[in-house]
């Protein structure tokens, strides 16, 4: 086997491992990522799996990093072409609701479940989760502040408070869909976001002059 073919095969195996990790973790949590279980699921040896990641913690970190790529594709990118401020804030919320309603992850939002799993622990996994959530909070807060500066939200809007409440809506939506299977949950989330943002554009609408 040539070195190039061997490297490609290694990358392919690593991808298969991470994809399986994402699926398992969204349903069973990051603690569900056991070496024996994953090796059996993928039909590879435990030593072969460990050769790609070394430790369970490395698997968990790689899983969160891949989940963040998926989240970016599903939530942030659809809103990237929309103008900043309130229009983009609404577009992000619409994409976020859609991502949860469509069940992009088999067991619901992996970040919500991981937060409940690790919010009281220390270590690198918790550190990464906090960094990811803070990055998203900063992005949302920037659009809230711009919307307030442009008069689309009240001038005295507390960006931190509004983002806190928007995140609460998304976590509640995930919980309601996953635990209760409530079909009206997404509609309730849309109403909650509309009330919080109190703007003129309905969630999911693309303002004139901006590409869809």
What structural domains does the chain harbor?
3-197 (1.10.357.10)
Q: Return the structure tokens found at 201.
A: 């554009």
| Buried residues in 19-47 as b, exposed as e (16+ CB within 10 A) | ebbbbbbbeebbeebeeeebbeebebeee
How would residue 2 be classed by pLDDT, with cut points 50, 70 and 90?
Answer: low
Q: How far apart are the first and last CA of the chain?
A: 47
CA atoms within 13 A of residue 43's CA, in its CB half-sphere = 1
Looking up tokens 């490609």 gives: 8
Whole-number percent of the chain with pLDDT over 70: 91
Q: What is the model's pTM?
A: 0.85
pLDDT at 20 over 50: yes
Residue range 198-211: mean pLDDT, rounded: 46
Residue range 98-120: mean pLDDT, rounded: 92
**Structure confidence by residue, pLDDT tens digits, 110-142:** 998 898 899 888 899 999 999 999 999 999 999
pLDDT at res. 7: 76
What DSSP character marks residue 181? -
Least confident of 77-86, 97-106, 122-131, 195-204: 195-204
How would residue 206 be classed by pLDDT, with cut points 50, 70 and 90?
Answer: very low
């Amino acid at each position: 086997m040539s070195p190039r073919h061997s490297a490609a095969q290694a990358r392919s195996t690593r991808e298969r491992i991470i994809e399986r990790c994402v699926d398992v973790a969204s349903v069973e949590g990051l603690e569900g990522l056991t070496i024996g279980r994953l090796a059996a699921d993928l039909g590879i040896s435990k030593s072969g799996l460990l050769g790609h990641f070394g430790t369970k913690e490395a698997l968990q970190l790689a899983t969160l990093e891949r989940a963040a790529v998926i989240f970016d594709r599903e939530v942030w990118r659809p809103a990237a072409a929309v103008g900043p401020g309130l229009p983009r804030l609404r577009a992000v919320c619409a994409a976020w609701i859609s991502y949860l309603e469509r069940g992009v992850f088999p067991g619901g939002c992996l970040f919500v479940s991981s937060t409940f799993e690790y919010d009281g622990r220390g270590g690198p996994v918790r550190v990464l989760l906090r960094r990811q959530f803070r990055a998203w909070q900063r992005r949302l807060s920037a659009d809230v502040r711009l919307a307030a500066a442009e008069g689309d939200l009240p001038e005295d809007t507390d960006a931190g408070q509004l983002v806190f409440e928007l995140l609460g809506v998304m976590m509640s939506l995930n919980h309601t869909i996953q635990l209760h299977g409530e079909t009206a949950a997404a509609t309730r989330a849309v109403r909650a976001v509309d009330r919080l943002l109190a703007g003129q554009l309905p969630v999911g609408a693309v303002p004139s002059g901006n590409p869809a």
